[in-house]
Structure 1
Amino acid sequence: MNAPVTINPDGVSVAGCSIIYAPRGQAGEYSPLATNPYRGCGHGCAYCYVPDVLKMTRKEFDEGANPRPGFLDKLRKDAAKYKAARLTGQVMLSFTTDPYHPGDNTLTRSTLQALIEHGLGICTLTKGGTRSLRDLDLFRAKRDAFASTLTSLDDRFSKKWERNAAPPEDRLAALKRFHAAGIFTWASLEPTLDVESSLAIVKKTHRFVDLFKVGRVNYLPMTKTTDWQDYTLRMIELLNKLGAAHYIKKDLQKFLPDGYPNPPRVPQHH
């Protein structure tokens, strides 16, 4: 007989599961559920805080992503518990790695397939651009989402901060393809490394991005030198002018006008 399954107080995750989990803090603002198939990344983003979280050296983290030992077996065991609990939420890949990193990322497709087989929704957040198109056929308009982190439209700027990530235009091309296929798309404007760059991104992408998630940058010199109140007010003015759906993350919420509508959870599917 199968052991009984207990749903956590959050109502979206299953007790005793660690491979599929409910992220907390700032990560929790992005997705109710997540999983991380790899350890390390390879995109070499200068602002990445994950090596500290995982207690890895930046050199080790940036050398590339490696599959977590026994990941798929562990994922399927967790996914079976979610199915038994009749929880069908969207699971995001990934917070501590990138599902479409520059190395061998074939495990990503197997991960998405396993989640789908167990009745769960899927979402990928990536800087891998059109590498993601390999898995476009798996995404379902009524269940799933595709997202990209965008920091600039300028290749040179991006190369400085995200040296091995896909160039900005390649990321935009992926968003356009998923959007054209009827898949819900969203963009993470975090970290905001340059205010004007983030505003320019919204102007260029709002026709094929269904939702913008707006944050700031932490642990870098511009964290203290940027006028975050001015940025927040300019950003929401632009987003409202364009009729673009958005969520302002907690770091910036203190700058919102009183009563400003900012629901933390909106359906990330059509």
Structure 2
Amino acid sequence: MGNNRFNGKAIYNPSGKAGEYSDWACNFYTGCSNNCDYCYCKKGVMSHVWSDTPKLKKCFRDEEEAISIFEKELLANLGELQKHGLFFSFTTDPMLPQTIDLTVRAIKICVHHSVNVKILTKRADFAEKFFRPLCSKSALNENLMHIAYTRHVAFGFTLTGHDELESNASSNSDRIEAMKILHEGGYKTFASIEPIVDLKGSLSMINSTVGFCDLYKVGLLSGKKYNWRELRGFMLACTSLESKFYFKDSFISQADLGRTNLPQSCVGRDYDMFNT
């Protein structure tokens, strides 16, 4: 993003490892009730504002002010957001019962302004009822609205294969079923295979979703050292499948590889899943 980084109250340009995931992101809340053992937000710079219950960021008086500020910041950066899209969220799960209403309102604004949206969640309980009920009672209007949403919204699910580490999240199997439902409904879908707790479990998650997952983003468990030969073997097993993969920098580094000689199914961080 260069030196002209935007750092609004709702919308901003992430940096560091988050910047590798998305050029633009939105955070309305901090904290999360999924209570994952490995969550990076529980440590470091986020730990002082973290809780097991999502809380509206202190810079917002209430949800009405949050959505108002969101719309102003979106319009102020509309050209860049239409080019790069917007990611929800790095500091909470945007589809929790406590966060989903504001997420839905923000996504509706994005779709109206032709901004592509990527939602990353560990929830499955919204999938069957989420977007079509937002449409009007008119069958024609409902169909047009559904087309607009499927054109601009992608759903991602974190899949580790380890429910015991994600005590309050939906099960991995339920997330996989939700992904399938949404993909069959016309939405783009992606999987965050991060963190890799163990290579066998992560490969099982990938094999279980081939055919209804448009992109896999693969990353390591922070602070864990992996065997480079095993990482390369894992990559070869993944890239033999019919799908697209983005391996994060940490994976590439520990596998002692360079991006210039990766298999053809590997894509860069700027890969646009909406235009494929």
Residue number in structure 1 paired with 2:206? 202
Q: How do 1:55-74 residues align onto structure 2 when only pairs under 5 Å count? A: 55-56=47-48, 61-62=51-52, 64-68=53-57, 69=60, 70-74=65-69
Q: TM-score when scaled to structure 1?
A: 0.82
Match of 2:244 in 1: 245
Report whether the alignment pairs 1:34 with 2:25.
yes
Alignment match, 2:179: 175
Q: Establish whether residue 259 from structure 1 lines up as the match of residue 250 from structure 2.
A: no
> Which position in structure 1 is the counterpart of 2:101?
106
Corresponding residue for 1:116?
A: 111
Whole-Å Cα distance in 1 between the matches of residues 70 and 129 of structure 2?
Answer: 21
Name the CA distance, whole Å, in 1 between partners of 2:24 and 2:7.
14
Percent identical among aligned pairs is: 28
Amino acid at match of 1:190: E
- Aligned residue among 29, 32, 46 for 1:54: 46
Would you say 1:268 and 2:259 are equivalent positions? no
**Structure 1 residues 263, 86: CA separation in 2 closer, same or farther (over 3 Å shift)?**
closer
Q: Residues 24-57 of structure 1, C-alpha deviation per residue, up to 9 Å, x if partnerless?
A: 2211222221101212111101111213332336
Structure 2 counterpart of 1:197, one-letter code? G
Q: Is the Cα contact below 8 Å between 2:157 and 2:192 reproduced in 1?
A: yes
Q: How much does 1:235 deviate?
A: 2.1
Partner of 1:179, secondary structure, is helix
8 A contact 1:43–1:102 mirrored in 2: no
What are the ranges of 5 or more consecutive residues in structure 1 without an aligned counterpart? 1-7
Q: Counterparts of 1:116 and 1:40 in 2: how far apart (Å)?
A: 26
- For residues 177-196 of structure 1, the aligned pairs below 5 Å read 177-196=181-200
Distance in 2 between the 1:15 and 1:108 partners? 20
Give the Cα–Cα distance (whole angstroms) in 1 for the partners of residues 14 and 273 of structure 2.
16
Kept in 2, the 8 Å contact 1:144–1:268? The answer is: no
1:151 matched residue in structure 2? 160
Q: Tell me if 1:91 matches 2:90.
A: no
C-alpha root-mean-square deviation of aligned residues, in Å? 2.3
Q: Which moved more, 1:86-95 or 1:13-22?
A: 13-22
Distance in structure 2 (CA, Å) of the matches to 1:182 and 1:95: 25
Q: Unaligned 5+ residue runs, structure 2?
A: 133-145
Q: Which residue of the partner structure matches residue 13 of structure 2?
A: 22
Match 2:150 to one of 135, 141, 163:
141
Cα distance between partner residues in 1 of 2:29 and 2:6? 22
